[in-house]
Amino acid sequence: IFAKPLPYLLAAAVALSACQPSTPAQSAASDGSASATTSSNKVYNVAMNANFPPFESIDSNGKIHGFDVDLMDAMARAGNFKVRYKNQPWDGIFATLKGGENDILISGITITDERRQTMAFSEPYFEVKQVILVPKGQSITSVNDLTKLDKVGVTTGTTGDLAAQKILGATSSKIARFENLPLVIKEIESGGVQAMVSDSAVVGHYIKNNGDKGFSMVEVPDFDVEQYGIAVRPEDSALLQTLNQSLQKVRDSGEYEQIYSKYFAK
Ligand code: ARG
């Protein structure tokens, strides 16, 4: 489906391909309590930049919620470990692993070769691709159209930033960088930027919830498919194994699919 040139595809359709339906089975982790056989009482610090709906955002009570939170909660139950969530600025979030401040990052993080140099990633848990969010009245049907715009908005240091650089050049003054997604969206709504490059699932979610604004999503073949992974310190191989096993359990039990449909129902 990614080979199609320019469909105004909703992210749900893109993301759906990442969701391997697994046979629902009775969940062994359904009671959610930590078993007495667990040797460690360690609580892992799990960080995310909660500015990225539907993966993570802050609700009206100041609580972090979203797909990543539900997934990690389910994994913690399945793997008998405990977690504590922390909201962290996107800028510098990777460094908090190394510093020991956080043990796990789950934040819609795309697995890249460069990031693998400093972090270890779990098995992929979600598939997206970079897409272009286009406001009403703007006609973008190719990357060439992107080069004709005045400003293209991205979140600094994301794979959307990299994708924009690929098209416009790393030093292009057309790339307008912002600290987080809501800031880019504010700018696109006010006309300060004429397009945004970001993850399909997030752009699709935004369009779905702002139907009245007439935004559309443009897919271009120049952008690659990306996989989200959960990041840990490279030396924490036991933790990585726990995460991978828990992720598998959550897929096998059907919980992954439930969480998926909660956030990406059509
Ligand atoms: N997937 C993109 C990346 O890895 C964007 C992630 C942004 N996540 C967030 N929670 N703000 O660069």
The verdict on the CB of residue 49 being under 6 Å from ligand 1 is: yes
The pTM for the full model equals 0.85
Is 231 a pocket residue for ligand 1 (Cβ < 6 Å)?
no
Note the pLDDT tens digit of each residue in 39-51.
467 899 999 999 9
Top mutation candidate among 48, 51, 110 for ligand 1, by most atoms within 8 Å of CB: 110
Strands 195-199 and 126-134: antiparallel
Average confidence (pLDDT) over 190-216: 95
pLDDT of residue 122: 98
Comparing C-alpha atoms, which of 236, 246, 235, 135 is closest to residue 194? 135
Minimum-distance ligand 1 atom for the alpha carbon of 90: 11
The predicted pLDDT at position 265 comes to 83
Place of tokens 């369009």: 207
Q: Is the CB of 88 under 6 A from ligand 1?
A: no
pLDDT at 1 over 80: no
Residues 146-174 have a mean pLDDT of 96
Instruction: Please tell me what DSSP assigns to residue 111.
Output: P
Q: At what angle do helices 67-79 and 237-252 cross, to 10 degrees?
A: 100
For residue 158, how far is its CA from the centre of ligand 1 (angstroms)?
6
Q: How far is the CA of 80 from the centre of ligand 1 (A)?
A: 27
Question: How far is ligand 1, taken at its centre, from the CA of residue 106, in Å?
Answer: 10
39 C-alpha to ligand 1 centroid (Å): 33
Is residue 256 within 8 A of residue 250, CB to CB? The reply is: yes
List CB contacts of 201: < 8 A, sequence separation 6 or more: 11, 12, 14, 15, 54, 55, 108, 126, 128, 264
Our mutation pick for probing the ligand 1 site, out of 65, 159, 184, 224, counting the most ligand atoms within 8 A of Cβ, is 159
Res. 208: pLDDT tops 70: yes
- Give 20 Cα–ligand 1 centroid separation in angstroms: 22
